[in-house]
Amino acid sequence: WKTILSGETWTNETVERHKDGSLYTVLQTITPIPDENGEITHFVSIHEDITARKQTDERIRYMAEYDALTDLPNRALFYDRLHQAMVRVKRNQGRLTLLYLDLDRFKAVNDNLGHHAGDLLLQAVAQRLKECVRESDTVARLGGDEFSIILQESGSPRDVALVAEKIISALAAPFHLAGLDVSIGTSIGIALYAGGPEADPDQLVHLADGAMYIAKKRGGNVIEFAPG
């Protein structure tokens, strides 16, 4: 009202409601019409239904940030969230933990049962991982059978180890795929971060990834903390 009563055109998106109760988004433009004395006497309002366009934009944004198979954040969104989490840790003098996971025996499932079974397995793994952490944490699929988890405001190394062991137990339980019970495992590398000025997301991922490879060399289904 402040805009249009001053004689200027107002444009913005608003959410409206259909008679059936469903919501839709409109691009609304209101133009004031003055009389011969310059006094505003009427308004012309134009509503453009942009619901379909908004939905398309949201879908494009979702596809750019989330893994199409598992609906988990993809590598790009993961790095964005990791960067933001590290900034918060520096500002608040907190702590976060990065877990880097690689599935054990996933290749055997793919080779013996086919890619469809492998896809079903990745989806089931994603669901179990989400059930092992809090909503405030981030579970991401980085590609292939590699996942990463950002634990916000994590506790002591012992607390972190308990979470990692919970994940190992969850993924060690058989998966039911196409009428078969499939057993896998996971190797987990862990990097702790408490706000050091020298670290960045790439370095933290490198530390967790390196620890994961050590866990893999130890035979898998174990956790390994990165040095430092």
Name residue 12's beta-bridge partners. 28
What's the order of all strands across the beta sheet hosting 138-143? 138-143, 146-151, 96-104, 185-193, 223-225
The Cα–Cα gap between 92 and 24 comes to: 40
Has 67 been annotated as catalytic? no
Backbone φ and ψ of 222, nearest 5°: -135, 170
Compute the distance between CA of residue 228 and CA of residue 224 in angstroms, rounded to an integer: 12
Strands, sheet with 40-49, edge to edge from the N-terminal-most edge strand = 10-17, 23-34, 40-49
> DSSP label at 50?
-
The active-site residue out of 57, 145, 202, 209 is: 145
Give the catalytic positions in this structure.
Answer: 145
